[in-house]
Chains A and B, each alone.
Chain A
Amino acid sequence: MIVLLAVLLAVAGEPDRSGPPPVAPPVAMVHPEPVVGVVDGVRVWSMQVVGARKVAIHLRFERGGLDLDPSGDPPALQALDALWGSATEQTDAIALAERVDDLGADLGGYVSARVAGMDVSVPRAHADEGAALLAEVAWTPVFPSDEHRLNRRDQADWYLRDGPMSPGAVAGSALAYAWYPPDHPSGRRPDPRAWRRLPLRDVREAYEALITDIPAEVFVVGDIDRARAEALARVALAGHGRDGERGPPASPVAHTGTSIVAVDMPGKDLASVRMRMPGPGRAAPDVLAAEVASYALTGHFLARLNRNLREEKGYTYGLWGGLSVGERSGLFDLGVDVKAGNVGDTLREIDRELARVATEGVRADEVDLAWRSFVGNWNQWFLNTDSAIGGYERAWWRRVSVAELRGDLDGYRAVTPEATRDAAARWWGADAPRLWVVVGDRAVLGPQFDALGVEVRWITPEDAILGAF
Chain B
Amino acid sequence: MAPSAVHLRYSREMSPIDVPAEVRVLDDGLVVIVVEDHRTDRVALHLQFGVGSRDEQPGEYGCAHLFEHLMFEGSAHVPENAFDDWLTAGGGDNNAWTSEDGTAYHMTFPVGALDLALFLESDRLGALDAGLTEGAIANQKDVVLQEREEGYGEPNGRDYDALDRIAWPDGHPYAHPVIGTVADVRGFTREAVVGFWRAHYRPRNAVLVLVGDLKPAEAFDRVAHWFSDVPDAGPAPVRAAAPPTPVAVPARRGVIEDDVTERTVYLSYPTVPMGHPDEAALEVLSWVLVNGRGTRLDERLYYSDLATSDEAWSDPRPIAGRFLISASSPKTKLPRLVAAVDDELARISRDPPSPAELERAKDAIRSMVLDYAEGPEGRAELVAECWFRDGRPDCVDAQMAKIAAVTAEDVVRVTETWLVPERRTALSVVPRGDRGALRDSATVVLP
Contact = CB atoms under 8 A, between A and B. Distances in A.
Nearest to B378: A384
B5 A99 contact: yes
Nearest to B261: A161
B217 interface: no
A404 interface: no
B259 A381 contact: no
Contacts of B154: 166-168
A380 B143 contact: no
Given A23-B91, A162-B261, A302-B81, A91 B119 contact: no
A387 B375 CA distance: 9
Interface stretch (A71-79, A100-108, A109-117, A237-245): A100-108
Interface stretch (A120-128, A415-423, A426-434, A452-460): A120-128
A49 B39 contact: yes
Nearest to B373: A53
B409 interface: no
Interface in A26-84: 26-27, 29, 49-54
B367 A105 contact: yes
A20 B119 contact: yes
B226 interface: yes
B119 A17 contact: yes
B108 A380 contact: yes
A166 B153 CA distance: 9
**A101, A314, A386: which has the most chain B beta carbons within 10 Å?**
A101
Chain A: interface size category: 35 or more
B332 interface: no
Interface residues of B, number: 86
B137 to A, nearest CB: 11
Contact of B91 (A26, A92, A96, A97): A26
A251 interface: no
A189 interface: no
A338 B153 CA distance: 11
A376 B147 contact: no
Contacts of A90: 1-2
A161 B123 contact: no
Nearest to B90: A23
B146 interface: yes
Contacts of B92: 376
A379 B41 CA distance: 7
Interface string B74-85: 001110011011
B155 A123 contact: no
Interface stretch (A227-235, A253-261, A365-373): A365-373
B260 interface: yes
Contacts of B370: 53-54, 104, 123
A385 B374 CA distance: 8
Nearest to B2: A95
Contacts of A312: 139
A13 interface: yes
17 contacts: A14-B228, A20-B120, A21-B115, A53-B374, A94-B294, A96-B2, A96-B293, A101-B291, A102-B8, A104-B370, A157-B330, A165-B155, A269-B149, A302-B84, A311-B81, A314-B139, A376-B91
Given A270-B150, A383-B374, 10 more contacts: A15-B122, A15-B228, A17-B229, A20-B90, A106-B367, A165-B261, A314-B140, A373-B91, A376-B110, A379-B42
